[in-house]
Amino acid sequence: MEASRELGAPDESSEGGISGFIKSILPGEDGSEESSSEQAQAGSNNAPDEDQSAEQTGDEPQKSEAKQGAESLQEKEAASGQPKDPKQEKRDKELSNSVKESILYWHGDDKIPESLDQTKEILTEVMGLGASFDVVFREMFLGGRKTGLLLISGFAKDVVLDEILKRLTYLTPNDMSSDALAAFMNEYIPHIQVEKAEELSVAINQALAGMSVLFIEGESRVIIMDTRLYPVRGPEEPSIERVVRGARDGFTETLLSNIALVRRRLRDPGLKFELHKVGRRTQTDVSIAYIDDIVDKTQVKAVVDKIKSVNIDGIPLADKQLEEAIIGKNWNPYPMVRYSERPDIVASHLLEGRVVLFVDTSPSVMVIPTTFFDLCQHAEENRQTPLMGSYLRWVRLAGIFASIFLLPLWMLMVIHPELKPPMLEFIGPQKNAKIPLLAQFLIIEFGVDLLRMAAVHTPSPLGSAMGLIAAILIGDIAVKTGLFVNEVVLYMAVAAIGMFATPSYELGLANRIVRLLLLLATGFFHVSGLVVASTLFIVLLTVNRSYNSSYLWPFIPFNAKAMGAILFRMPVLSAKTRPSFDKTRDNTRMSLSAGKKDKS
């Protein structure tokens, strides 16, 4: 009953409670904190004017009836003698975008109250104490001092908290010094990660992040203990970046676990992980990783400044929203960062001098800057011998090229058979279909996209059945009925395989958009359309900049040595320097004398 009155809910045992609740939600109330008798008097005095104005403006009778009902409820409330809840009116007016703004709204300043009762009142309004079942404020006497432990029950590590509280319950007032907070923190809390805080917003934000906050009566500071245990899954191998040989662990949705996977592979004291928070409401943890004596510090500063300048309410979709906030390029289909879920790939990029962004709740990390050819490489190539790795790289590059240009080139040869070389005379449709060639391509393009989306949402046991339906019931019958040409289905299948063979999922989708545009240009403008559209495509990639770095490097600007390393998987001992693209402070992987010794 008391809680319902405090929240402004209707009270079945009090007619005034019902009238107060209805009055608070009806339109036309100014939310003032006058007494109920003055409100009733004002309502009775203003009733004729309000009805007259309603008639003059042509309002509907329902609105005037609502006003009359509100006035009668005001009279009943005045008769019952129960005033409106001023806290509910203040709650209705609150428009806070962050924890600190909400504390200033309810408390006036961001200092920690010395009274636990006042602290509970603030936590009730700011954090939902008493309304949210998982927000816990455990009051107890420890060492003769009244204390309160604030935590989120879903994040609490019970074993650690039990050990801490077990030791603190044995304390007596004689064990405590004049500075209770220092005694708790330095002597009686058997935990490693413990810190102090003097601002209430910091304490609440840390509690929402999973920490445990200890308030002490009479103290204007709190003790924050890292006793959190996030829900986490095992580090399974990522589905997109699978390898035949190699590590099977991948990133998870927990930031600390992801950092530990990289730390395990890079035991360099120069490896730094800077932590920032993004989002006024979500307060998402974002970590910037780099090797201090290798990376370009100007680039690190640019990334940090971009992250600090992000001023939005939150990034619940994690890394993708952060990428759009700090990179831009809103309508550019090509990715300006590389996503990876493999710790070994990320460690390799860190050794090359790249900057890596970890975002909490995301199993993938961002590597910046990146190039078009970086997105075409896969971990499998480096798990094989240099010869086989080079062969796999050539096959993959050929598949990517086919996914972009194969369909437009074939359609151009069909439209203009005189352009076909003599050795390719056999290419071309042997029969004509009932649907125009360009329409066939557009229909099958959208069909492949529809199948791809259906495969994502189809349970694994039904995936094979869906593939049979697509291959037999759709593709084969469409050809036999004369709706499609055999070659259209064939070349579209080759282009789809090339798209799926692209290591970067984002790059594959961007290439698919370019292929569609090239098909349209070729279908409408023939040779000139394909030439102009291909030229614009190259120009688009050339003018793209990934953090002031050329997107087509080392092709544009041309670097013969780096281009050779792109086309061929070089032996490990042959790569003595880091890519110049990264502008690293330390450009050498090994000394020249070490390389000569290894060759001998």
Q: What are 557-578's pLDDT values in tens digits?
A: 898 999 999 999 999 888 888 8
Euclidean distance between CA atoms 94 and 254, whole angstroms: 33
pLDDT band at 583 (very low <50, low <70, confident <90, very high): confident
**3-class DSSP state for residue 138?**
strand
Residue-level pLDDT at 488: 86
Q: Give the length of the chain.
A: 600
Residue-level pLDDT at 515: 94
CB count in 10 Å sphere of residue 448: 17
Burial class of residue 328 in the structure, from the number of CB atoms within 10 Å of its CB (0-12 exposed, 13-18 middle, 19+ buried):
exposed
pLDDT band at 14 (very low <50, low <70, confident <90, very high): very low
CA angle 443, 447, 452 (to 5 degrees): 155
Kindly tell me if the per-residue pLDDT of 40 is higher than 60. no
Average pLDDT over residues 329-339: 88
pLDDT band at 452 (very low <50, low <70, confident <90, very high): confident
Residue-level pLDDT at 60: 44
Kindly tell me if the per-residue pLDDT of 18 is higher than 50. no
Euclidean distance between CA atoms 429 and 192, whole angstroms: 73
201: which 2 tokens?
A: 């917003």
172: which 2 tokens?
A: 């007596």
Residue-level pLDDT at 568: 93
Distance of CA 338 to the CA centre of its chain: 15
Helix or strand holding residue 276 (H, E): strand 271-278
CB count in 10 Å sphere of residue 115: 12
**Torsion of Cα atoms, 498 then 500 then 501 then 505, to 10°:** 120
Is residue 309 within 8 A of residue 286, CB to CB? The reply is no
**3-class DSSP state for residue 277?**
strand
Residue-level pLDDT at 84: 66
Among candidates 250, 246, 217, 207, which has minimal Cα distance to 232? 250
379-432 residue pLDDT tens: 999 989 999 999 999 999 999 999 999 999 999 988 888 888 888 887 777 677
C-alpha distances (whole Å) from 595 to each of 100, 321, 563 are 57, 44, 21
What percent of the chain has pLDDT above 70?
Answer: 82
**3-class DSSP state for residue 279?**
coil
- For residue 368, what are the contacts with CB-CB under 8 A and spacing of at least 6? 303, 327, 336, 337, 338, 354, 355, 356, 357, 546, 547
Of the listed ranges 350-359, 366-375, 449-458, the least confidently predicted one is 449-458
pLDDT band at 61 (very low <50, low <70, confident <90, very high): very low
**Torsion of Cα atoms, 258 then 264 then 266 then 267, to 10°:** 130
Of the listed ranges 31-35, 314-318, 407-411, the least confidently predicted one is 31-35
Residue-level pLDDT at 186: 77
What percent of the chain has pLDDT above 90?
Answer: 45
Residue-level pLDDT at 174: 81
Among candidates 323, 326, 317, which has minimal Cα distance to 360? 317
Euclidean distance between CA atoms 305 and 284, whole angstroms: 17
Is residue 491 within 8 A of residue 498, CB to CB? The reply is no
Is residue 373 within 8 A of residue 566, CB to CB? The reply is yes
Among candidates 307, 371, 327, which has minimal Cα distance to 541? 371
Is residue 170 within 8 A of residue 243, CB to CB? The reply is no
pLDDT band at 97 (very low <50, low <70, confident <90, very high): confident
In terms of average pLDDT, the best of 23-32, 46-55, 358-367 is: 358-367
Euclidean distance between CA atoms 416 and 189, whole angstroms: 82
pLDDT band at 34 (very low <50, low <70, confident <90, very high): very low
Residue-level pLDDT at 428: 74
pLDDT band at 471 (very low <50, low <70, confident <90, very high): low
Residue-level pLDDT at 464: 67
Among candidates 249, 230, 228, which has minimal Cα distance to 238? 249
- For residue 9, what are the contacts with CB-CB under 8 A and spacing of at least 6? 21
In terms of average pLDDT, the best of 92-106, 184-198, 258-272 is: 258-272
Kindly tell me if the per-residue pLDDT of 57 is higher than 60. no
Is residue 148 within 8 A of residue 120, CB to CB? The reply is yes
Residue-level pLDDT at 8: 41
Question: Which DSSP symbol is given to 292?
Answer: T
Average pLDDT over residues 125-151: 92
Kindly tell me if the per-residue pLDDT of 28 is higher than 60. no
Is residue 235 within 8 A of residue 250, CB to CB? The reply is yes
pTM of the model: 0.78
Average pLDDT over residues 61-73: 46
Kindly tell me if the per-residue pLDDT of 74 is higher than 70. no
Angle between helices 15-25 and 86-93 (to 10 degrees): 20
Residue-level pLDDT at 552: 92
Kindly tell me if the per-residue pLDDT of 477 is higher than 90. no
193-240 residue pLDDT tens: 889 999 999 999 999 999 999 999 988 999 999 988 887 888 888 888
- Please, what is the average pLDDT of the chain? 82
CA-based end-to-end distance of the chain: 87
Give the domain ranges of the chain.
2-93, 99-225, 255-370, 382-543
Kindly tell me if the per-residue pLDDT of 58 is higher than 50. no
Q: CB-hemisphere CA count at 13 Å for 130?
A: 12
